[in-house]
Amino acid sequence: MAWSKKLTQLNDILADLMPHHIGIEKYVRAAGLRPQMIVFNGSAMDIWNSVLSEADKNGKVNDLVSAVLAHYPENPYLLSALEATEVDYTLSPKLDEVTDWKKVDQDTLEVLTSRVNTMLPISFLENGILRSRAVGKVEIKHGLSFEVGSGFLFKLHKTDAVRFMTNFHVLSEKSRFPLTRIIFNFELDCSGNSKASKSFTIDENKPLLISKVSELDVSIFTLNDPDDELKEYGYLHLKKVGIDKNDFVNIIQHPGGQMKQISLYHNIVTHSTERVVQYLTDTMGGSSGSPVFNSEWDIVAIHHSGGNSRLDEPKLPATYKMRNEGISINPIIDFIDKQSQSI
């Protein structure tokens, strides 16, 4: 079977909706597949991989999606999977192709099982909401479909103008600027209603700062704001900050182009260097460019890639399925300073 982009995205989606083994078999039967042909061992991601392989072999992928939709009728990923035109949720580079992933250690697994105090002051929530306002969705028109990512407004020094940061692999060519919208407030309120969002275009006359995927994987530009409306969303202040193994991180993102979400549970740093921060957390395609925060809501990295657990790694608890990597904010700050001086 040729493992297509659509199947890769479905694998992520289904494992995200149902990260536990229990219950997957009912969808297999509902789709007209034979459970005896499915490998029900390993992580939820592995099981869904086996299910999708069998469904594709028998021409029943849409039947499987429809079966899951019966329980998740408004899920945008599943709905788009039945459409001829697809949204490209998988912009991020493959983790194993752009980095050297350090295996998860036993002491990290002990932290994952909550053998540490994770209580935080209630102000943590309010500060997170304030930071979230600066996070926006990147939407790039590509023919009849869209490519999606995330990013954020930031300021480095008090005298700097507010600019927008995302990944190089999300957007790096000025020729695509006219096809791009940066959307803020694309989220639900506390009553579950959609907020009024606002989109902005990119100022093609202002400098574009870029660093390739193999380096810092970052793209920085300025948004058009003739009516001074961006001030409503504030900005994230960048400063150099340390991050260590077994620290906790939180990611505010637009996974798959969906409304704004936060990955708040089970997020732990497994390894860090001067260039990268590696962590276990929940992300999906479209999360690329998201700010990665520590527990003080300082930005420690910009998320740029993810992947499934390796077979040779220690078995993770059932709710953990993703290994992820961000580019450390410290070398990005040095890069911005150096590039700004040459402009």
Question: Do 257 and 227 sit in the same domain of this protein?
Answer: no
Residue 95 tokens, joined: 């983790």
Backbone φ and ψ of 331, nearest 5°:
-65, -25
Q: Record the tokens describing residue 69, joined without a space.
A: 């939709």
- Out of 184, 205, 235, a domain closes at 235
- Whether 31 shows a pLDDT value over 50: the answer reads yes
pLDDT of residue 290: 92
Give pLDDT, residue 258.
76
For residues 266 and 281, the answer to whether their CB atoms sit within 8 Å is yes
pLDDT at 107: 65
184 and 105, same domain (yes or no): no
User: What kind and span of H or E run contains 45?
Assistant: helix 44-57
C-beta of residue 244 within 8 angstroms of C-beta of residue 277: no
Q: How many domains would you assign to the chain?
A: 3
pLDDT at site 63: 93
Chain-wide mean pLDDT for the chain? 84
- pLDDT of 237 reads 96
129 assigned to some structural domain? no
Q: Are 108 and 179 in a shared domain?
A: no
Question: Maximum Cα–Cα distance for the chain, whole Å?
Answer: 65
* Within-domain flag for 343: no
The pLDDT value recorded for residue 315 is: 61
- The percentage of residues in the chain with a pLDDT greater than 70, rounded to a whole number, is 82
Across 100-104, 137-141, 249-253, 317-321, least confident range = 317-321
For residues 117 and 246, membership in a common domain is answered with: yes
What pLDDT is attached to residue 98?
73
Instruction: State the average pLDDT over residues 19-33.
Output: 84
Task: Give the mean pLDDT of 140-168.
Answer: 89
Whether residues 143 and 111 share a domain: the answer is: no
Most confident of 160-174, 262-276, 302-316: 160-174
User: Per the structure block, which two tokens stand in for 117?
Assistant: 């105090």
Q: Which of 42-56, 107-121, 287-301, 308-322 has the lowest mean pLDDT?
A: 308-322
Nearest to 280 by CA among 326, 328, 329, 321: 321
Cα 34 from chain centre: 34
For residue 1, the model assigns a pLDDT of 44
Q: Which one-letter DSSP state was computed for residue 194? A: B
Question: What's the rounded Cα separation, in Å, for the pair 304 and 170?
Answer: 9
One-letter amino acid identity for 201?
A: T
Average pLDDT over residues 160-188: 94
The answer to whether residue 151 scores a pLDDT higher than 50 is yes
Token code pair at residue 139: 């939407």
Low-confidence winner among 10-14, 52-56, 326-330 (lowest mean pLDDT):
10-14
DSSP 248: B
Whole-number percent of the chain with pLDDT over 90: 44
Q: Is pLDDT above 70 for 310?
A: no
Q: Which residues pair with 183 in a beta bridge?
A: 137, 199
Residue 303 to residue 326: CA distance in whole angstroms: 4
Tell me the average pLDDT across 252-258.
79
Domain residues for the domain of 72 are 5-81
pLDDT for position 73: 82
Q: What is the CATH number of the domain that holds 277?
A: 2.40.10.10
